[in-house]
Amino acid sequence: MPTAPPPEARGKLVPTTPNPVRQVDQHAAKTFVELVFDPSRLKPLILISPDPRHGGNTALLDPVVLHEHVSEHAQVAVLTDTAASEALRVLLPDLGVWGGAARIYRPDARPDDSAQHHPLVLLPQGNPDQALAEIRDRLHRLGVVYSTSTPAPRTELSPSNARTAAPGPSARDLEAENTRLKAALAERDRTMSELRRETQRLAKQLKAAEGRAVIDVPAVFADPERQFRYEVEQVWLRSTPEADRPDFPLGTYHLGPDWLDSLTTVELVDRRRIVEVTVEVLTGRAATVPGRQVHRMRARDERGARPLMRTSDQAVAMRCSLKNNTASAPRLMWWRLDDSIELGRVALHDDTQLR
């Protein structure tokens, strides 16, 4: 549990057998949102998310067991996998649920409700009994069910008669509750730490995927300049639709004296990425990409900072970032002339030497 529903059931809220626990896959997320905001829903709706630490398809609390304990007071649903969690977060940015946690949606829910109005419950790992107690305790605070281990009465409790129906807690009970809450907070901190590590891992995977997304061009020439120009042409042809090529031509360009050597000395960025950004520069598209941060280079002398220009031909020094929105990323530098571009060199962020 949870398991993915069969293909014919996708996009629907599917009850399991024999208990009516609703399974929500990514195709059923929209239908589930409609249920959350259904004005005819009279009971709280508990949604459990899968734990990403166990393949993204296993809940920390068996939803069938939860249903057996709260079925008279609340409905139970479970997200089938992390894809379903992400689909729900798109539809309910402030009211989604993920990372193995559960959320309790009150009746009469509205799209403009705050997240606090529909409480998020962090479930402890490896302790289903405590996870069940956490949810029952939160339902008790909402005034719909007892949080003790004894079965709840057969009738729903309102906030007023719930206070009169249960005896006041003893000192021993308060001490035990305090201990339980401390343990829950410690478990929450551990869970948040693990989720942060998981987020960092996924971010690294995303960066790696971005790196693999660039076009790979085989080596076909022994001469370095011919090979580079071949790579530029191939990337331009593959990345620019034929109908757009007249508007974004490569134009005339030259290789500066340090260009080819710089391609082999900078190891922090892949050669394919350099070629891709070079095509953006040559076609003028780099200036339209915010992450490229295209700007004129400046030189400092006794008069202060001023735009860097080459005195022999009045070429203007330019540079841009090779990685989107990365302050310390390597830079691509070039000279901009009236009718052409001279590629200067690729270098680290703080290296501004250009000849």
- Convert the pLDDT of each residue in 318-334 to its tens digit: 999 988 766 667 899 99
Highest mean pLDDT among 72-81, 204-213, 223-232, 292-301: 223-232
- Contact between residue 125 and residue 99 where contact means Cβ atoms under 8 Å apart: no
pLDDT tops 60 at residue 160:
no
pLDDT tier for residue 5 given thresholds of 50, 70 and 90 = very low
- Identify the pLDDT of residue 214: 56
Mean pLDDT of the chain: 80
Q: What is the pLDDT of residues 171-193, one digit of tens each?
A: 787 777 778 788 777 777 777 77
The CATH architecture to which 224-347 belongs is 2-Layer Sandwich (3.30)
Distance (Å, rounded) from C-alpha 340 to C-alpha 326? 28
pLDDT tops 90 at residue 196:
no
Report the pLDDT averaged over residues 162-179: 63
Distance (Å, rounded) from C-alpha 173 to C-alpha 160? 22
Cα–Cα distances in Å, from 128 out to 46, 60, 124, 150? 16, 7, 7, 16
pLDDT tops 60 at residue 208:
no
Q: What homologous superfamily does CATH list for 7-166?
A: Glutaredoxin (3.40.30.10)
Express as a percent the part of the chain with pLDDT over 70. Answer: 79
Burial of 112 (0-12, 13-18, 19+ CB in 10 A): exposed
Residue 58 C-beta-side C-alpha neighbours within 13 Å: 7
Q: What is the pLDDT of residues 231-277, one digit of tens each?
A: 999 999 999 999 999 999 998 999 999 999 999 876 678 899 999 99
Under DSSP, is residue 105 helix (H, G, I), strand (E, B) or coil? Answer: strand
pLDDT tier for residue 159 given thresholds of 50, 70 and 90 = very low
DSSP conformation class of 74: -
Report the pLDDT averaged over residues 96-118: 86
Same CATH fold assignment for domains 7-166 and 224-347: no
Segments making up each domain of the chain, as ranges: 7-166, 171-213, 224-347
